[in-house]
Amino acid sequence: MDRNEEYKLLMGELDAPCSRAEGTVDRARARLRRRRMLTRPAAAVLALFVCFTALVNLSEPVAEACSGIPGLRELAQAVTFSRSLSDAVDNEYVQPIELTQTDGDITATVEYLIVDQKQVTVFFRLESEVYECLTVDPEFRNAESGHLESCSYHLNDYDVPIGELQSVTIDFVYGDVPDTMRMYLKVRDAGSWYATESAPEASSNRWDEDRDYTEPQYAARFDFLLEFDPWFTQQGRHIEVNQTVELDGQEIIIRDIEVYPSHLRLNVEDVESNTAWLKGLEFRIEADGKVFDTVKNGITATGIVDTPMMTSYRADSTFFYEAEELKIVITAATWLDKDMEKIRVDLAGGTAEVMPEGAELVKAERQGERWIVAVGAAMRNWDGDETVHNFHQIFLGNYFDAEGNEYHINTWSSNITGVGYDERPGFFYEEFPLYDYPYDEVWLSPAYSHYWVAEEPVEITISNK
């Protein structure tokens, strides 16, 4: 039996039907009038910065190429958030597995893996006859040592109805995907939480709720051992570039491109004479008339802690396409001036010595031993599309006092109206607390200083051989 026959036999053994909780998500969303963003540091993320973007999945299923293969039609619908994963499914680049566990009234089944040398996407479903809505907190560990080096992971969608396929992606920044990995799923009764959670009022109490966060009670816990076919974990290749390009009066070195079935990485280096750090890069890859855009859902860029620069950018993969040449087309960049890594804010006076381009300090209010800071900023067009705007990060999570002592922001909220602020077209608000901070001045860490759009795209053509 060859690999293709074995693959199809395994696919035929998977069950296609699933149960659904009709209307659960709509009912839950109607109950939740305000969303808070709470960040909790992942122990697996070491010595790296991760730029992450989450988008609502609005794409239509693109499953025609898999319509004749049992089991892949649903998978094709579950990967429409990623062109690379859609291409992988279309090309039958999938490792089918079937691992099932039941804890109490909940059953979890791991069904597919899309894995290569640097990234793993795990597809699983939760089923229950008791609960209406479930949410999951995933965690990944090395099966042998218990610790995964330099990686980050995220759910690809939220509010997934019971019985439907959902996924989580693990991205390895430096090391390679190991042969095995443990996946822990902690499942919460979200339907009960939405039903009982009252909508927080516009008061200082909501920050107390965020600070006093404790791990919720989980309805079920699962522990899966994932084993990867070595043929998949060896997939990927490097293309040397080593070209210097000028952007906005600065220079960067495009070192190389890494091409994997699940994504593409464009790796860059700083030039010492630059007066600003590169914090974001908008580009596309062109190959034989086809266009591959930057990643819009999930991890978009990573960098090391030695500098504020983001050094590795994610894009859709060209892995399944034959082309003699690849063209890198750069259209915009986000910068952080090297003399603006920290900015002083007079909290008592409500003023800042400088702010990122398009941003303004809206409020600094003392509440006991903490300050509540609110900033606003103009939204940006996404990839030049005048109809699509988005929030972006204004400040990083660390701040300092006059003595240089470091503190961390671990909770904030973003909204187009804010709490007690008027809605302004094309404008959004970001609000965060400075806990146990009695001082009247603070040094915040901007995520950027300014945004640059190229008058003409900067193009670099390289061999794809």
Q: How much is the pTM?
A: 0.82
Q: Using the 8-state DSSP alphabet, how is residue 65 labeled?
A: G
Does 1 score more than 60 pLDDT?
no
What is the C-alpha separation between 258 and 458, in angstroms, rounded?
20
What is the C-alpha separation between 457 and 417, in angstroms, rounded?
35
Does 128 score more than 90 pLDDT?
yes
pLDDT digits (tens, 9 = 90+) for 366-425: 998 899 999 999 887 655 455 455 788 899 999 999 999 999 998 888 888 766 777 888
Task: Tell me the three state secondary structure of residue 111.
Answer: strand
Q: Using the 8-state DSSP alphabet, how is residue 140 labeled?
A: E
DSSP 162-231: TTS-EEEEEEESSSPPPSEEEEEEEEEEHHHHHHHPPPPPSSTHHHHHHHT--PPPPSEEEEEEEE--HH
- For the chain, give the number of residues: 465
What is the C-alpha separation between 289 and 406, in angstroms, rounded?
49
pLDDT confidence band for 141 (50 / 70 / 90): very high
* Mean pLDDT score, 198-221: 64
257-272 burial: b if 16+ Cβ within 10 Å, else e:
bbbbbbbbbbbbebee
Higher pLDDT, 213 or 34: 213
What is the C-alpha separation between 395 and 388, in angstroms, rounded?
22
Q: Residue 35 has what pLDDT?
A: 30
* Mean pLDDT score, 331-344: 96
Q: Residue 59 has what pLDDT?
A: 34
Lowest mean pLDDT among 40-44, 197-201, 255-259: 40-44
* High-pLDDT (> 90) share of the chain, %: 62
Helix (H) or strand (E) holding 242: strand 237-247
Highest mean pLDDT among 7-21, 202-216, 286-300, 324-338: 324-338
What is the C-alpha separation between 336 and 306, in angstroms, rounded?
15
Q: Residue 363 has what pLDDT?
A: 92
What proportions of the chain, in percent to the nearest 5, are helix, strand and coil?
Answer: 10, 45, 40
Q: Residue 34 has what pLDDT?
A: 29
Does 64 score more than 50 pLDDT?
no
* Mean pLDDT score, 293-297: 88
Are 264 and 314 contacting, i.e. CB atoms less than 8 angstroms apart? yes
What is the C-alpha separation between 24 and 40, in angstroms, rounded?
27
* Mean pLDDT score, 37-56: 43
Task: Tell me the three state secondary structure of residue 172.
Answer: strand
Are 123 and 115 contacting, i.e. CB atoms less than 8 angstroms apart? no
Half-sphere exposure of 58 (CA within 13 A, CB side): 4
Does 200 score more than 60 pLDDT?
no
Does 314 score more than 50 pLDDT?
yes
What is the C-alpha separation between 145 and 149, in angstroms, rounded?
10
What is the C-alpha separation between 92 and 75, in angstroms, rounded?
11
Are 112 and 75 contacting, i.e. CB atoms less than 8 angstroms apart? yes
Q: Residue 375 has what pLDDT?
A: 94
Amino acid at 62: V
pLDDT confidence band for 357 (50 / 70 / 90): very high
Distance of CA 167 to the CA centre of its chain: 13
Does 279 score more than 50 pLDDT?
yes
Q: Residue 233 has what pLDDT?
A: 96
Does 462 score more than 90 pLDDT?
yes
- The three state secondary structure string of 325-360 is EEEEEEEEEEEEECCCCCEEEECCCCEECCCCCCEE
| Average pLDDT value for the chain | 82
What is the C-alpha separation between 305 and 49, in angstroms, rounded?
7
